[in-house]
């Protein structure tokens, strides 16, 4: 109920300010479970996609959004719950299995599940290697995967910016991908990788992004390491003040 209330409030405001457009919206089924697998450019991806899709979309969001304290923490938790996000632990291991089960439960009730196969936002606007959880969910739930490309959301709200600037954003949906031919093979890591790569290829075509065969988390670590090294080099190369003779 809260989801539809939040959507009713935000839709006219955001449609007026950002004029979102959608192509291929008819590829999203009117009923039944399905995975919307999207590229991830901005925090606002999870806001604009539900805005243009009539059906409710549930996203798996990092648990940090739901653990804040005080009034701000409660408001943040309420907002994310209101826009259809459920908390998951992304630390890996048993947490990954729990996230998988949460996704399967959502799909099993016939709902749409929004996933970002890259696992995190792109650090530089390029499309990174997908994680195979999306493939495993599709096979275990027996649902189609609809590739979804978010367009221009990183321009409207770049990483690190809390308040978006005005601009137009778009959503481009591809044809549903049916992986039923792999039924019963969700334990085969080569099959899971093949399925995931096919999804990422479709996202590359839809978004026009350059593809990088590296996980986005590793790319972020490399970028941060380069930034730290550059800062240290600047400090070491800076001229040191000379001491005056007394």
pTM: 0.85
pLDDT of residue 170: 96
Say yes or no to pLDDT of 246 above 60: no
For the chain, give the percent of residues with pLDDT over 90.
61
Quote the CA–CA distance of 96 and 62 in Å, as a whole number. 12
Residue 213 CB partners (closer than 8 Å, separation 6+): 129
pLDDT of residue 83: 63
pLDDT-based confidence at residue 144 (cuts at 50, 70, 90): very high
Looking up tokens 């040191």 gives 240
Is pLDDT larger for residue 162 or for residue 241? Answer: 162
Residue 116 maps to a domain = yes
Residue 206 maps to a domain = yes
Average pLDDT score, the chain: 88
Do 88 and 61 contact (CB within 8 A), yes or no? Answer: yes
Residue 107 maps to a domain = yes
pLDDT tens, residue by residue, 160-211 = 888 889 999 999 999 999 999 999 999 999 999 999 999 999 999 999 999 9
Residue 228 maps to a domain = no
pLDDT tens, residue by residue, 54-104 = 999 999 877 666 666 777 667 766 666 666 677 666 666 666 788 888 899
Residue 147 in tokens? 């590739």
Residue 126 maps to a domain = yes
pLDDT tens, residue by residue, 93-117 = 666 788 888 899 999 999 999 999 9
pLDDT of residue 136: 95
Query: What's the CATH number where 62 sits?
Result: 3.40.1130.10
pLDDT of residue 201: 98
Residue 207 maps to a domain = yes
pLDDT of residue 81: 66
Number of domains forming the structure of the chain:
1
Residue 34 CB partners (closer than 8 Å, separation 6+): 28, 107, 112, 113, 143, 144, 145, 146, 176
Say yes or no to pLDDT of 48 above 90: yes
Residue 240 maps to a domain = no
Q: Is the dihedral of CA 89, 176, 151, 25 positive or negative?
A: negative
Mean pLDDT of 204-226: 92
Say yes or no to pLDDT of 242 above 70: no
Residue 118 maps to a domain = yes
Q: Which domain holds residue 63?
A: 2-214
């Amino acid at each position: 109920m809260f989801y539809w209330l939040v959507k009713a409030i935000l839709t006219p405001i955001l449609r007026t300010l950002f004029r979102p457009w959608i192509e291929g919206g008819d590829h999203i089924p009117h009923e039944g479970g399905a995975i919307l697998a999207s590229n991830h450019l901005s925090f606002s991806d999870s806001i604009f996609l539900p805005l243009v899709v009539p059906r409710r979309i549930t996203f798996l969001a990092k648990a940090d959004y739901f653990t804040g304290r005080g009034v701000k923490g409660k408001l943040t938790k309420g907002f994310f719950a209101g826009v259809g996000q459920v908390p998951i632990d992304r630390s890996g291991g048993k947490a990954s299995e729990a996230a998988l089960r949460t996704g399967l439960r959502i799909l099993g009730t016939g709902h749409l599940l929004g996933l970002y196969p890259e696992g995190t936002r792109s650090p530089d606007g390029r499309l990174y290697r997908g994680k195979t959880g999306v493939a495993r969910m599709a096979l275990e739930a027996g649902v189609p995967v609809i590739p979804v490309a978010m367009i221009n959301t990183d321009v409207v709200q770049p990483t690190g910016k809390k308040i978006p600037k005005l601009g137009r954003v778009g959503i481009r949906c591809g044809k549903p991908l049916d992986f039923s031919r792999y039924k019963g093979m969700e334990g085969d890591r080569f099959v899971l990788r093949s399925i995931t790569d096919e999804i990422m290829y479709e996202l590359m075509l839809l978004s026009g992004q350059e593809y990088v065969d590296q996980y986005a988390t590793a790319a972020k670590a490399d970028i941060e390491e380069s930034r730290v090294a550059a800062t240290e080099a600047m400090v070491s190369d800076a001229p040191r003040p000379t001491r005056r003779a007394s």
